[in-house]
């Protein structure tokens, strides 16, 4: 994958008070979640696979866009959005951030804001912060 995982502001790595572990693994179910006990983010391969194989069956306005979309771009963008959504839950939990309105809406907005410039070629999002 080229620069799929690319869009965190480059200053975040040095500003977060703690690391946020992110794990990709088989879960036996379609899911992605923030674990409040482990303070860690998990993205299940099964969830990613749904977007890798199922987006071609999407109906409505999105189908026109997706018909011409690059499979890797769809998979990467969707995975990043899910990851940022769950990371938003993690930030709220980990750093006791206040939320006005529904938390699901807040983390969707967080994910959108994080990825708004992610399609700029050569703009790394996460790569500078990935380890292990």
Positions in the binding site for Zn ion (CB under 5 A): 104
In the sheet that holds 22-25, the strands lie side by side as 22-25, 40-44, 32-35
Q: How far is the CB of 46 from Zn ion (least distance, A)?
A: 17
**Min dist. Cβ of residue 85 to Zn ion (A):** 5
| C-beta of 49 vs 109, nearer to Zn ion | 109
* 73-79 LR contacts (CB < 8 Å, sep 24+): 75/48, 75/51, 76/1, 76/4, 76/5, 77/115, 77/118, 78/48, 78/51, 79/4, 79/43, 79/48, 79/51
Q: Which is nearer to Zn ion, 62 or 104 (CB)?
A: 104
Q: Which is nearer to Zn ion, 89 or 129 (CB)?
A: 89
Tokens standing for residue 128: 């500078």
Q: Which residue is nearest to Zn ion (CB)?
A: 104
Query: Cβ closer to Zn ion: 1 or 96?
Result: 96
CB of 111 to Zn ion, least distance (A): 9
* Rounded Cα gap, residues 98 and 57, in angstroms: 38
């Amino acid at each position: 994958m080229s620069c799929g995982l690319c869009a965190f502001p480059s200053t975040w790595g040095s500003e977060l008070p703690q690391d946020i572990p992110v794990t990709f693994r088989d879960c036996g179910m379609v899911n992605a979640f923030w674990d409040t006990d482990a303070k860690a983010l998990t993205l299940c391969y099964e969830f990613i696979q749904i977007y890798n194989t199922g987006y071609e069956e999407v109906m409505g306005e999105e189908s026109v866009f997706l018909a011409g979309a690059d499979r890797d771009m769809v998979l990467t963008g969707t995975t990043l959005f899910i990851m940022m959504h769950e990371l938003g839950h993690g930030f709220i939990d980990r750093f006791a951030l206040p939320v006005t309105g529904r938390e699901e809406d807040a983390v969707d907005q967080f994910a959108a804001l994080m990825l708004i410039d992610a399609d700029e070629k050569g703009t790394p999002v996460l790569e500078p912060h990935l380890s292990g």
